[in-house]
Each structure stands twice: as structure tokens, then as C-alpha cells.
Structure 1
Amino acid sequence: MCRHFAYVGDPEPLGTLLVAPPHSLFRQSWAPRRQRYGTVNADGFGVGWYADGDPVPARYRRAGPIWADLSFADLARVVCSRAVLAAVRDATAAGADGEAAAAPFAQGRWLFSHNGAVTGWPGSLADLAGALPPADLLALEARCDSALVWRLVLARLTRGESPGQALVDVVQDVAAAAPGSRLNFLLTDGDSIAATAWGDTLWYLTGPGRRTVVASEPYDDDPRWRAAPDRALLVADRTDVLLTPLKEPPA
């Protein structure tokens, strides 16, 4: 389910990043090339981006397919940004949350997306959810697995964990509580990207110049694209990508 994308680098129009490439996120909404689960990502979409001088990102989210939104076409043509996180959604289960369930989720300077699914939802995460303060549960944007996973990540970020460590800890907790879950996460603060590959595809592209793209699948056939191994943490900025293997949680 889902395809997502993150970029940090020199300012680019949203359309150049998300629409123009031959296998862009826009096209992946109906014709993904490497999607292992689901076929069409038409259950909502969202884009978050950062403007110069403002650390808090803007978001544009809708409940319908990205190809049907003419307002997004205008937005993508004129808005430029140095950092972007976007996603197209294939819902795991039917629900009434609409655009509230569409990534990116946000808080302060953070943008977050989850590509995958939690097995046994919602019962499998009852203990993890119960450990959160009631105010955090009431603040959930939607009643879906991705919204709860984001709240678990945010709780760790708020306690001072690094982006990469927060993602790893939540992957380990969720994988232990719900074995077989697919937990590909993307997280950015506008300067760097942290991501996990856990059960689905993750690719990255660096250069030329000061730019890095991390995505569910390549948006073109540039031979410099590299696949992250499964069970890995990726941390990147404009020029460097660091990959760290992840272990399965204890049985």
C-alpha cells in the first residue's frame, strides 16, 4: 500500500519533483512499477513542503486521487521548496477519515509518512497505544495504523531522541507487537531525512549537486538510483546517505 517520497536540496518546483519525471509519484498513484502490495493508490494524497524563513512546513492533503485534483496541478506548477515529503495512499481498510488519514502527518517542524500496514490492527497495538498519555491519543488525526505509529514516533522525538533512533525504536516495538507488519517510514525536519526499509521497497538518489531523494521507487531510470536493503535505517542530508542494518526484535 502507498508510495511516498522525500527530497532535500536546492529549491525545486513541486511539479518538477512530483509530476514531471516519467515515473513520478503522480504516475505511481495509478501505475507503480515496484509496488508489492496493492495496485492503485487512489485513497488520498498529501504534500508537505518548507518555505524559506519558516521552520514549520505547509501541507496540502486530499481524500481523493492526486490525478483528479486540478488545484494541486496549479500548486505544483508555482510552489518551490528546498524540502518536500509527499505520499499517495492505498488504504489498508475502508474508513471514514478522509484526508486526515493521508500523509504527511505533521507536528512542529516534522513531516512523517508510513508506507505499509500493521498486522492485526487495531488490537495488536493496544498495549503500545495504552502507554501513551490520553492527550496524545485524543490528538490522533485519524483512526488508522499510520496515525498511531506517527504518534508513537512523535512521543520519542519529544523526549529528545534523534530522528533515526525514534524510527528504529518504533519499528522494533511495532514489529514485536505485530509480527509481519510492513514499516517503511519517512521523516524529515526540512534539513535531513530519516527512513526505514522494513518489508517494502526503498530507494535513494544523491547528486548531482546538493540534493538527495528517498522514495518507495525511482521516479526515472537514472542508473544512480540505489535500493536500500530490507531491514535498514537510512539517514541522509543533501550530500550524504548513511545506511545501518536493523535487527529483528526478540521473539
Structure 2
Amino acid sequence: MCRWLAYSGKSVALETVLFQQEHSLIDQSLNSRLGHTTTNGDGFGVGWYGRHSEVPFRYRCLHPAWNDTNLRETARAVRAPLFVAHVRAATGTPTQETNCHPFRFGRWLFVHNGLIREYPLVRRDLMMAVAPHLFRWIEGSTDSEVMFFLALTFGLERDPRGALEQMAGLIEEVGHRYDVEFPLNMTVCVTDGQQIVAVRYSSEADSRSLFHSTSFRQLRALYPNDPRIIAAGDNAFLVLSEPLIDVQEVWEEIPEATILVARGGEIEHKRFLPRLPDQSM
């Protein structure tokens, strides 16, 4: 369906994660091992945070990631302490640049793997729930972008967990209203450049794969002479759809119905509980 990752740590070249690993994200765009689809070639995107910019940078393209020479050049040239990347397999919406992740609003970036089932049926109700002052910023036609703007509507910028739970709760409520048995399947990531918030959740309790790194200190012990691992630092962190290397103890699968918050080297897991939006919103 899609594959994505998010990195935080010391500033590293994007190519370190996107290209230079055994099972890099670019490799996953051609040969996903754990994804719903093997190939994710309906566009890609990268978002990163610069030292002197309030708004994150993005590079998005509707071409397959494995076939974009400009992505290779960009990934070699750009260094960042926090970035997200996504390769897309479309689920019923057009292959166009405005439908490529990450989606952006202010300092926030958002990526998603999964789907809102029967989206054409529920789309109008969901879009009408987006706050009027935000609606003008929706550029594409994907369910993912509407999920992002619903979360913004419900207070993502002040309470990410609460906003994402209300977003999921509304989607399920609207879906059930139209007799959709399992309305939502998602792994999502949002970040403001200071924290990474990731969720694994689905209405049927059978979500897409999602992992996080356990310890870069442990990685450094396994590969003491690897300059890429040394450059990332001991507090580096990755959350991602599929592991980049086949070393089992380096990765931990994120459980069903879990929200993860990573900030300043600290990682916190909590139960993810969708709920209807607060009436005061």
C-alpha cells in the first residue's frame, strides 16, 4: 500500500537512510517484504527540517522513487536532524504530485500508510468536518490528506494524541453510519521538527506493519566501524514500516492500537483509543 519512515538524531545525509541500507526505503519501493503491495511506485516524497527555517522543506514527485535521479542528488546533498520519507501505492485516488506525502501545514508534516475504506462514500461527511480556516489548504484528493486536516481541526498542534484519537473516532463513526464494517486502517506519523508521533491502529485490529529502532548504541556495538551509525549518534531514532537491516534485536514491532512519542532521546508508548471529537471544538 505505502511504506514510510521517520528519523531523528544528529544531522545526517538523507541518502544514509533512503539509499545506503540493505533494505532501504528505495529498495522497499520496488520490493516491499511486509507491505500489502510489493511495489510502491505511485510517487514519493521527503520532508526535512533546516536549521534556520520555521517551515520544513519538501521534495515530492509523482514518479517512482527508484527511477528519480534528482532524488539521489538531493539525498546526497541534504543533511538534516529530522526527516520523514514516503513511497506511495495509490488506493483509488490519482497519481499526482499533490497526492504525494508528506503533507504539510506550518511546521507539521504527516505521512500515512493504509486507507479509509469506502472513501468515496464517506468523503463528503469527513471533509465537511474540517475547520473552515483549514479547508482552503487541502490541495489533493487523498483520504490521507483529509485525515491530516481533521487532526489539525481537532487540535494537533497542542495535543497530538488527543487530535489523532478524535480523527480516528470520527472516521469510524462516519464509516459505521454508512455500514462500513472496518472503516479505518492506518499507520501514521506526524512531526513538528521537535517530536515524532506515530500510531499503529486499525478498526479490524490487523494494521499494516510498523517498527521502531531499539538502540543506536546497540547498533554501534554491532557495527563499530560503520561511519553512518557513528554519525547518527547514540540517541538517534527511527520509526518505519519495515526494518532497514536484517538484525532482529535492533527493531521492535509497535503493537496494535499504540501511539508512540519520541522526543529528545526519550520514547513513550501509550494505548491509542479512538473517540468522538469534543463537542467544544
Q: Take 1:66 and 1:150, find their aligned partners in 2: how far apart are those partners?
A: 23
Note the C-alpha offset of 1:190: 1.1
**Matched residue SS, 2:30:** coil
Q: Deviations over 1:159-218 (max 9, x none)?
A: x53222222221222233233421211001112100110121110014321111011111
Q: Take 1:166 and 1:247, find their aligned partners in 2: how far apart are those partners?
A: 11
AA aligned opposite 2:254: A
Match of 2:139 in 1: 141
**Matched residue SS, 1:150:** helix
Q: Take 2:237 and 2:78, find their aligned partners in 1: how far apart are those partners?
A: 19
Could you tell me the TM-score, scaled by structure 2's length?
A: 0.83
Note the C-alpha offset of 1:114: 1.0
Note the C-alpha offset of 1:21: 0.7
1:101 has 2:73 as partner: no
Note the C-alpha offset of 1:248: 6.0
Q: Take 2:238 and 2:62, find their aligned partners in 1: how far apart are those partners?
A: 25
Q: Take 2:103 and 2:216, find their aligned partners in 1: how far apart are those partners?
A: 27
AA aligned opposite 2:34: R
Match of 1:218 in 2: 243
Q: Take 2:129 and 2:17, find their aligned partners in 1: how far apart are those partners?
A: 39
Q: Take 1:182 and 1:51, find their aligned partners in 2: how far apart are those partners?
A: 32
The worse-fitting range, judged by mean Cα deviation, of 146-155 and 42-51 is: 146-155
Contact 2:168 2:184 in 1 (8 A): no
The worse-fitting range, judged by mean Cα deviation, of 44-53 and 120-129 is: 120-129
Alpha-carbon distance change, 43 to 172 in structure 1, aligned in 2, over 3 angstroms = same
Alpha-carbon distance change, 5 to 28 in structure 1, aligned in 2, over 3 angstroms = same
**Matched residue SS, 1:204:** strand
Note the C-alpha offset of 1:151: 1.0
Contact 1:5 1:85 in 2 (8 A): yes
Match of 2:185 in 1: 182
**Matched residue SS, 1:122:** helix
What is the percentage of aligned positions where both structures have the same residue? 33
Note the C-alpha offset of 1:134: 4.3
The worse-fitting range, judged by mean Cα deviation, of 116-125 and 211-220 is: 116-125
The worse-fitting range, judged by mean Cα deviation, of 189-198 and 82-91 is: 189-198
Alpha-carbon distance change, 248 to 135 in structure 1, aligned in 2, over 3 angstroms = closer
Name stretches of at least 5 consecutive residues in structure 1 with no aligned partner.
none
Q: Deviations over 1:104-137 (max 9, x none)?
A: 0001111101110100112224323212244533
1:244 has 2:263 as partner: no
Alpha-carbon distance change, 65 to 116 in structure 1, aligned in 2, over 3 angstroms = same
Which structure has the larger Rg? 2
Q: Post-superposition, which runs of at least 4 consecutive aligned residues in structure 1 deviate over 2 A?
A: 125-128, 131-139, 175-180, 246-250
Q: Take 1:134 and 1:190, find their aligned partners in 2: how far apart are those partners?
A: 26
AA aligned opposite 1:169: Q
Match of 2:225 in 1: none
Contact 1:200 1:230 in 2 (8 A): no
Name stretches of at least 5 consecutive residues in structure 2 with no aligned partner.
176-181, 202-206, 218-233, 277-281
Match of 1:92 in 2: 91
Match of 2:255 in 1: 229
Q: Take 2:171 and 2:5, find their aligned partners in 1: how far apart are those partners?
A: 22
Q: Take 1:29 and 1:153, find their aligned partners in 2: how far apart are those partners?
A: 27
AA aligned opposite 2:245: D
Match of 1:152 in 2: 150
AA aligned opposite 2:3: R
Contact 2:200 2:255 in 1 (8 A): yes
The worse-fitting range, judged by mean Cα deviation, of 175-184 and 16-25 is: 175-184
**Matched residue SS, 1:157:** coil
